[in-house]
Each structure stands twice: as structure tokens, then as C-alpha cells.
Amino acid sequence: MSRPLIGITAGLRRIRASTGEHEPAHTLWPTYTGMVREAGGIPVLVTPGLPDEAPEVLDRLDGLLLSGGGDIDPGLYDGIVRPRVYGIDRTRDLFEIAMAQAARTRRFPTLCICRGMQVMNVALGGTLIEDLLDDDPARLQHWVDGKHAAQDSQHEVIVEPGSTTAKALGADTLVVNSIHHQAVRTLGESLAVSAVAPDGVIEAVEPTDRDWPMWAVQWHPEQLGTSHDPSIRLFKALIDAAR
């Protein structure tokens, strides 16, 4: 059986070129592509384009992974630009929102990670908390800095028993890394909360339509790696659906 082709959205950032200048480049952490390969898929990068290109891109893929990155433009969900909002790329926002909407229409196999979960929520009409600490200083610290923050486990996540998220992860509770300062505020259409942090922050959502194989998590399973069983199981769920 041929391996499914999984499109992974990439961002745009400036990197140092041979000229010594910082030039724009499409980028993606290799942990995403590595986990897709380990789970049995073939990863390809999907760079931001025009929104009307989204259906044609999906025509050529078997599955979609909406990756992490900078913040979504708050203007796209009637939000406010807070001081810690960063990395806005409206071209990427509009393209990925179109990809998410096309994926929903087609019930296309999709995995959404961190920013990707927020993109899906906004694409379906939901809103975001622009900055968790500005919104409520008593919350847990969800943005953890440091050299090994992406690989470390920072807080527990409580998963809804019987949810498709719980079935994919093979767990009702787990401890995850946490590298986000935004989160879902109001749910998008046809989405249900499937996991929360101890402070109530939404950590995973899934479709109410169980015919749509879509999983969305706020943490970074691609960084926790293949030795973290729930993480590799989540990627395998995407690959199995894409077959």
C-alpha cells in the first residue's frame, strides 16, 4: 500500500543568507516531517498562497497538517492586538483558513497543532483569547521558554473520555509541553471541547460530526516525539485516516 501524502503548512520568516542579510524563507521545524514519516506518511510542505488555491491543493493530498507558528491577525475574529501578539502574517492566515474550511467541507483527514488548532477554530467562526495572562493573570503559565521547553512536559491535560481525541491518544489524561500564549475563547461551528488544562484552558477540540477525521491539540506532539506514545498515536490516526 502506498504511503499517504500529508501536506504540512509552512510559515515565512527571515533567516541569515550567505550575503549576511536576513532574507525571507519558507520554514518548518523538521520534527513535523519526522513524525509524519515515522507514522507512515510522506510529508510535503504547503506554502502560503491565495485562498482560492486551497481546494486544488487538497486535490493533490491525502491528509493535511496545520502547523504551529505566529499569531493569527486578531482582525480576523474581531479580537484586539495585545502587546504580546506576534508574528502576524495575514497571507498565511487567509490561506490556512481557506484550507481549514475546504477540509471541513470535504471531511478531509486533518491534524491541527497549536496555531493550527486556532486557525481551525477561527475558520469555523470561533474566537481566540489574544493573550492568556492579559486575560487572566491567575492562569497557569502556558508559554514556557527555555532551551528544552518544547521537549519538556509542563502541565496535565484532561481528555474527555470516549472522545475521538481520547481514542486517538489512547489516554484520558497526559502531561504535555506548553508553548502558547493564546487559546480558544468561543468555539467554532460544529466543534466540541475534547480536552482542557487544569485551569480550564481549552487544550483540544474535535468535530461534532464524527464522520470527519479531524483532531486539534494546543500542545506540540511533534516535539514530544516517537517515544511519547500518545503523540505518535495521534500522528498514526491522521495517517490511517488519510489511507
pLDDT at 148: 54
Q: Which domain holds residue 194?
A: 5-242
Strand ranges across the sheet with 63-66: 42-46, 5-9, 63-66, 110-113, 214-217, 202-207, 191-196, 155-159, 173-176
- The string of pLDDT tens digits covering residues 68-123 is 999 999 999 999 989 888 999 999 999 999 999 999 999 999 999 999 999 999 99
- Given 142, 155, 181, 220, which residue is catalytic? 220
pLDDT at 128: 98
Q: Is 112 a catalytic residue?
A: no
User: Given a cut of 70, is residue 178 above it in pLDDT?
Assistant: yes
Q: Is 96 a catalytic residue?
A: no
The pLDDT of 188-195, averaged and rounded, is 98
- Given 96, 130, 203, 222, which residue is catalytic? 222
Domain count of the fold of the chain = 1
CATH code: domain of residue 10: 3.40.50.880
Per-residue pLDDT band at 14 (split at 50, 70, 90): confident
- Return the minimum-mean-pLDDT range out of 60-64, 122-126, 133-137, 144-148: 144-148
**CA atoms within a 13 Å half-sphere pointing along the CA-CB vector of 19:** 5
Angle, in degrees to the nearest 10, between helices 90-106 and 115-123 = 70
- Given 96, 112, 114, 203, which residue is catalytic? 114
% of residues, the chain, pLDDT over 90: 78
User: Given a cut of 90, is residue 146 above it in pLDDT?
Assistant: no
